[in-house]
Amino acid sequence: MPLLLLLSYLSFSGNPGLSTAVNQEVPVKRQTVTLGTQDSVTVWAEAPVYWVVYQPVLREYDNLKEGAWHLEEIEYQPVLLSSVATTKQTFRLSAGTYLVGTQTDTTLNPIATIHPLHLQRTGTLQMVVQESDDYVGYLTELLGLPFVIPPKLLGNYGHQTDLRVGTDCAELAIYGRRRMGHPVPYGGPRGIREFLVPTDSVVPGTVVHYGFQVSVVYQDRGQPGLLDAEDLLIHAYQTQVAIERLGDVALWGMPYQLYQWKESTFSPLGK
């Protein structure tokens, strides 16, 4: 890897953050704000700006196609929220990760970068919205992220999954466990098995392992206790993190194993 590129992505954050307030709290300047679907968040700029959302282009990003050091750039398309410049914007959002930015004009130039936008781009905020503060709820924070195979460390910034830049199937399932404070390392479909035990239970949070693909039961909507076509899975699959009806995806009819998480015997990580 060229030295200039290495030093670039080992650098520290260049974004001082935006002032934000969740519900009626006192505004705080930050780069990431976490909230629930029931919450609203207000964001302030120091002068009138045009507000945009940077939407990732949803496709498979291959971090291995040019060798072990390769990081494929994630592509983003900015979408203008209003044609009028303002100092304040209020949001109430469904679950997922959003990148909100500010601009001094209405030019919408696509972005491609290996960096986490909210840590590098001035005037950009990452908003992380969860349905609930439990295992499946933490998984919903990653809805709408692109499929990255495999997600990697971005120098001092951290792991692409923890940063909510992109993820793959197994790392999504592991992310929820890590958000609960358990020190489960990212290890792909093979490595995750070390932290699982077989189960016959089909409930929200059950891990469905297809060998090459890992999904998680979001809702048992069909025959209770049986994994069937009506059940909803949350997973990173093909192009993005999504909630999908099992009968609507190519996984339907493929052999699988059901697992639940082992109880952790290690000291928990901080959330």
Which amino acid, residue 136? V
- Strands (DSSP E) found in the chain: 18-22, 28-30, 32-36, 41-56, 60-62, 74-80, 86-91, 96-103, 111-113, 124-130, 147-149, 196-198, 207-209, 214-219, 232-237, 240-245, 257-261
At residue 231, the 3 state secondary structure works out as coil
Sign of CA dihedral 187, 188, 190, 192: positive
Nearest to 182 by CA among 262, 270, 268, 261: 268
Structure token pair of residue 187 = 């290890």
Give the phi and the psi of residue 222 in degrees, each rounded to 5: -95, -135
Contact 62, 72 (CB under 8 A): yes
Task: Write down how long the chain is.
Answer: 271
Read off the pTM. Answer: 0.90
Tens place of pLDDT per residue across the chain (271 aa): 332 333 233 334 455 568 999 998 999 999 999 999 999 999 999 999 999 999 999 999 999 998 888 999 999 999 999 999 999 999 999 999 999 999 999 999 999 999 999 999 999 999 999 999 999 999 999 999 999 999 999 989 999 999 999 999 999 999 999 999 999 999 999 999 999 999 999 999 999 999 999 999 999 999 999 999 999 999 999 999 999 999 999 999 999 999 999 986 444 554 4
Contact 57, 75 (CB under 8 A): yes
Give the pLDDT score at 15.
Answer: 58
Using CA atoms, how far apart are residues 186 and 102, in angstroms rounded to an integer?
33
Give the pLDDT score at 38.
Answer: 98
Using CA atoms, how far apart are residues 217 and 203, in angstroms rounded to an integer?
6
Q: Which residues contact 42 (CB under 8 A, 6 or more apart)?
A: 20, 21, 27, 88, 89, 90, 91
- CB atoms under 10 Å from CB of 160, counted, come to 26
Partners of 245 in beta bridges: 232
- DSSP assignment letter at 155: G
Using CA atoms, how far apart are residues 127 and 92, in angstroms rounded to an integer?
10
For 172-182, how does the pLDDT look when each residue is reduced to its tens digit (9 = 90+)?
999 999 999 99
